[in-house]
A and B are shown apart, each in its own frame.
Chain A
Amino acid sequence: MEGTAVRGRLTWQTATVGAVIDETSKVRTLSLDVPDWRGHQAGQHLDIALTAEDGYRAERSYSIASAPGEPVAITVERLDDGEVSPYLTQDVQIGDEIEVRGPIGGYFIWDPPVSGDGPLLLAAGGSGVVPLRAILRHRGLVGSSVPVHLLYSVRSQAEVIYRSELDHLNQEADGVKVIYTLTRQQPPGWTGYARRVDQQMMAEVAWPVASGPLAYVCGPTNFVEAVASDLVALGYPPLRVKTERFGATGTP
């Protein structure tokens, strides 16, 4: 069985918020201090739990935004009618405590010794970029030269998460190309894609099947379904297309 073997049961651990980075007007990254963190792999997620003074408890799942070896971080998108995301993106302060359980997930993982060196096609819909960014950071830290295309579908430039990091990767020309499609609003002079992903766009962005690519697709369910079926139609073996569907909430 591929993937991480978890020894024993997962338990909830107390994490302290160590740092807070506002990525966009609605998205924040929280870096967490977890004393007994067992380490994680790129693509995994964790569950968090918040307990209120009256004992009320809420649980959610968030993809881990950092690479193996880096402090555990999650990136949270604020939903206006949310219960947990407004707290995490607006109220939480350095030093606050939350509970975490993880790392979780043996399927949606990129680990070069196991995953091989086929070129990577990463496809992100909105906040689906979070686990893919962990994959990109891991690639950088281990010095992998696997070629990567990241297709990032997002409504507007203002909503791009990790924008300076991704633009830097594009400029470095170290084998990573980030292709945006801005589906609702484009800046003046924009010459890139300006529509929802479709078969034509996938054909232009995806690695040829003959090169043995591996695809990771993450985002809202409709996005994932569309991209995955386009890739299979292009000849990608289904086993080489890994999918992770987030709800409309943006969390897995």
Chain B
Amino acid sequence: MDALEDGVLDGNAIGGMLIEVFGAEMTTAVGICGVCGTRGQVAEMPVYQARMGAVVRCRVCDNVLMVFVEVRGITCVDLSGLASLS
């Protein structure tokens, strides 16, 4: 896999938003990719384009794990790429 470009961040960068959405600290939560089964902590997941919305992908297979978009104060959350998050 190519080295990630400088514009890509990680789950640490959306820590505040995750607390707002889940009501709990989530950067240490472990997610399992629904496509390749890779386990990883949210803090270490690549996060793309945090300005239009946060797209959180699997570090190994790039599958979209989670998407968060804030529209007029309400955050739309899609977790369908995860097999589990705990």
Given A3-B27, A105-B27, A225-B3, are A245 and B15 also a contact pair (CB < 8 Å)?
A: no
A222→B13 contact, CB < 8 A: no
A107→B41 contact, CB < 8 A: yes
Q: Which of B4, B9, B13 has the most CB of A within 10 A?
A: B9
Q: Mark B13-27, 1 if CB is under 8 A from A, else 0.
A: 101100110011101
Q: How far is the CA of A222 from the CA of B6 in the complex (A)?
A: 6
Q: Mark A112-150, 1 if CB is under 8 A from B, else 0.
A: 000000000000000000000000000000000000000
Cβ contact of B16, chosen from A61, A108, A222, A244, cutoff 8 A: A61
A107→B4 contact, CB < 8 A: no
Write the residues of chain A forming the contact surface with B, with a CB cutoff of 8 angstroms. Answer: 1-6, 8-10, 45, 47, 61, 101-102, 104-108, 220-222, 225-226, 242-248, 252
Count of inter-chain pairs, beta carbons less than 8 A: 87
Given A244-B12, A252-B13, are A221 and B19 also a contact pair (CB < 8 Å)?
A: no
Given A10-B20, A221-B8, A221-B9, are A4 and B15 also a contact pair (CB < 8 Å)?
A: no
A104→B19 contact, CB < 8 A: yes
Across the interface, which residues of B come within 8 angstroms of A247, CB to CB? 6-7, 9, 13
Interface positions of B from 4 to 55, Cβ below 8 Å from A: 4-13, 15-16, 19-20, 23-25, 27-29, 41-44
Cβ contact of B4, chosen from A45, A102, A104, A225, cutoff 8 A: A225
Q: How far is the CA of A248 from the CA of B6 in the complex (A)?
A: 6
Q: How far is the CA of A2 from the CA of B4 in the complex (A)?
A: 27
A105→B25 contact, CB < 8 A: yes
Q: How far is the CA of A247 from the CA of B24 in the complex (A)?
A: 24
Q: How far is the CA of A212 from the CA of B75 in the complex (A)?
A: 41
A252→B12 contact, CB < 8 A: yes
B12→A108 contact, CB < 8 A: yes
B53 CB → nearest A CB, Å:
14
A3→B28 contact, CB < 8 A: yes
**CB-nearest residue of chain B relative to A248?**
B6
| Interface pairs (5), CB distance under 8 Å | A45-B12, A221-B5, A226-B3, A245-B8, A248-B7
In order of increasing CB-CB distance, the 8 nearest A-B pairs are A107-B43, A107-B27, A106-B25, A104-B15, A47-B16, A3-B28, A6-B25, A245-B10
**CB-nearest residue of chain A relative to B3?**
A225
Across the interface, which residues of B come within 8 angstroms of A220, CB to CB? 6
B23→A8 contact, CB < 8 A: yes
B19→A243 contact, CB < 8 A: no
B62 CB → nearest A CB, Å:
15
Q: How far is the CA of A202 from the CA of B13 in the complex (A)?
A: 26
Given A222-B3, A243-B44, are A61 and B28 also a contact pair (CB < 8 Å)?
A: no
